[in-house]
Structures are given as structure tokens and as C-alpha cells.
Amino acid sequence: MIATPTAVALVARREIVERVRERSLWISTGVTIAILAGILILPSALGFGGATKATVATVGPRAEQVVARAHGLQKTFDVALTARPASDDVAARKLVADGDADVAVLRGGRALAAAQDADDAVIAAVQAGSQAARGASIPPPLPVERAGDSGASDRRGIAFVAVVILYGQLLGYGFWVASGVVEEKSTRVVELLLSAITPRQLLAGKVIGIGVLGISQLLVIGLVGAAVGAATGQLDVTGDLVSAVGVVLAWFVLGFLLYSCAFAVAGALVARQEEVQSVTAPLTILVVASFFLSFGALDDPDSSLARVLSFVPPSAPMVMPVRQIAGNVTASEMLVAIVLTLVAAAALIALAARVYGAAVMRTGSRVTLRTVWRGSG
């Protein structure tokens, strides 16, 4: 038998070389990059979106007059303003802080309260309305107060794109593991491989090889997407974006460790490619369910449900990165989620090695997990 490190490295290299030669890898990479480029470029190129819509809270007649004058300047600033009366300055600031208004003109028209992510054109339109209401050619601009979390909407957008890509990668590469096992069984290549290496070495090499390929594809997609966005001016390459790419890569590794062995076991239970989808259906449902649950975390990263799901291993690879990118996650929460996911992955790897070793040589009809488990004892 070949030494374990050498055997694992050889299998991993074989997986990478074989997969790189497949057109499906390059097609999926190209399609993903094209979709990202479309998201970044097409809306502005085709003129979608129109005027920026905004709600302006007003306190008193003077503030209403400011907004009325700003209405007459909407086309100039490409905005669409909707006035919303408020009883006093406190109520107006609360509307802004709660996201029910983008800006607020305070009592007497003396100051402007704005959300951190309020559009500059909206603020400029209201400022111009203030100038017109005062009847001065160049009056001093209203002092602006910012409220809320700076860049929160941008982080949510990044988190949405990140979780969609993460979902596709985990599901796609998990399925690759399962179909690769079945392909080896159906062509009897596995018999030749297992004459030189052990099932554990084969499983480890397969998971590592496909995992490295998955990380490489993710990195290429992220770098090309960032380059396209920066070149077109649609995306600022900020610290939030760079950290988001790092978070996605890290959780892909953890998620792939968790799911890949399960997909390998599923593939070992059948002998034909036609049966792969049916045998991996429960795992697919688990990944899809985790994907949709992550949208709850995207909407409210600090909700009780989002917190719980970010610690549960099956859903953690989807939910925790969303919370990390879109919200505020403490170092202790992140550490607990990582440890729990690693513990679950380690347990699954041990289980998978035992079941995989017993099932991978069965080339007849489909077998049950219970039968294989008993036979592996």
C-alpha cells in the first residue's frame, strides 16, 4: 500500500486534473461571472431604476415648504420625493432611524436628519429646496445629521450575492463528489484504485481535490467580479468587500467538509448515474432549506432564529456568513459556530470513512445505509 500522504495527494491531483478538463467547470464559471457582471453593469447600462425614490419627514409648515420647493427640483436631481408629516423632531428622527423615512426636515427648516445610506441626490434636492424656500441666492446649507448604521444596505447586498454563490458552490461540488464516486464504481476503476490505496485514502483525496478546485473557482469568481465592478464604477473595493470574500471562502471550506463526505457516502450506495439525484435528494433538501433560512438572517441578522441557525452545523455554513457580512457577530459567536461545525464535520468524516469503505466496492443494485453499516462492522 502507498503511504497515506502520498496516496491522498495522488488522488487529489487526479481529481483536479480530471475536473479541470471538463467543460462543465468552465461553463459554470463563465455563467456565474456573466451573472455577476450583469448585476453590476446592466441596470445602469439599460437605464433601469429611474429616479431615486425617497420619503422626507417634515416637522411644521416651514419644513413642508422646504419639501414643496424640493418637489419642483426633482427632475434636476433625478429624485422622486414623498412628504410624510411628523409631530415633532423626535418623531421625525425616529422615522429616519427606523427606516420609514430617508431624510427629515426638522422644525423651522433649520436642520436635516438623514439616514447613513441616504442618497446624496436626495439630500442635495432637499438642500436646494431649502435655499429656494429662504429666498436667498446662496444661503448656508442645512446642517446634516446622520442616523443608523453606515453601509448597512451595502453589506446586505454583498451578503445576498455571497450566500447565492456559496449555495451554488456547496450544492454543485457536493454533487460532483457523489457523481464521481458512482462513475468510478460503474467503470470498475475503483477496484484498481483500491488495490493500491485504502478507501479512507481515496475518500480523503477525493474530498481534498474537489475542495481545492471549489476554492479556486470561488476565488476566481470573486476577483473577476470585483475587477469588473471596480472598472465600471459600480462597485467600490472596500474593506467590507474584501472581508466578505474571505468569509465566503472560509465557510465554503467548513461547509464542504461537512457535506462532501455525506455526498460521497450517498454516491457509494448506488451503482448508476441515474440514481445519483434520488440518493442525494435528502442532502440537497438540507442545503436548499439552509439557503432559504439564510434570507431570514439577511433581513434581521440579530434575530433569535438567525442566531440559533448560525450555530446548528447543517445551516451554519449558510447563515453564519450572512450574519458576519450583514450584521455584527462577536468573536465568541463566530468561534463557537466554527468549533461546532468542525466537530460535526469530524464526526461525519469518521462515519463516512467506515460506510464508504464498505459500500464503495458494492457494484450491484442500490443498498441501504443500514445494510452497509452492519456490513462494515
Q: Tens-digit pLDDT profile for the chain (377 aa)?
A: 577 788 888 888 988 888 888 888 888 888 888 887 777 676 555 555 556 788 998 998 888 888 888 888 887 777 888 889 999 988 888 888 888 888 888 887 767 778 777 888 888 888 888 877 766 544 445 555 555 554 555 677 777 878 888 888 888 888 888 887 777 777 767 777 777 888 778 878 888 888 888 888 888 887 887 787 777 666 666 666 778 778 888 888 888 888 888 888 888 787 777 888 888 899 999 999 999 988 888 888 888 888 899 999 889 998 998 888 876 788 899 999 999 998 988 888 777 777 777 766 665 666 666 766 665 55
Q: For 52-147, give the CATH class.
A: alpha beta
Write out the DSSP string of 274-316.
Answer: GGHHHHTHHHHHHHHHHHHHHHHHHH-TTSHHHHHHTTSTTTH
Query: Cell numbers 474584501 correspond to what residue?
Result: 242
3-state SS record for 207-257: HHHHHHHHHHHHHHHHHHHHHHHHHHCCCCCCHHHHHHHHHHHHHHHHHHH
pLDDT at 375: 58
Buried-exposed string 51-90: b where 16+ CB fall within 10 A, e elsewhere: ebebbbbbbbebbbbbbebbeebbeebebebebeebeebe
Answer for the pair 73, 129: CB distance below 8 angstroms, yes or no.
yes
pLDDT at 150: 46
Give residues with Cβ within 8 angstroms of 61, minimum separation 6: none
Answer for the pair 225, 31: CB distance below 8 angstroms, yes or no.
no
Could you state, in order of their start, the residue ranges of all structural domains in the chain? 4-43+152-376, 52-147
In whole angstroms, what separates CA 170 from the centre of its chain?
Answer: 11
Query: Cell numbers 448508476 correspond to what residue?
Result: 272
Residue 211 CA to residue 16 CA, distance in Å, equals 9
Containing H/E element for 145? strand 144-147
Answer for the pair 156, 300: CB distance below 8 angstroms, yes or no.
no
Answer for the pair 96, 103: CB distance below 8 angstroms, yes or no.
yes
Q: What does the block give as the cell for 2?
A: 502507498
- Secondary structure (3-state) at 92: helix
Residue 148 CA to residue 196 CA, distance in Å, equals 62
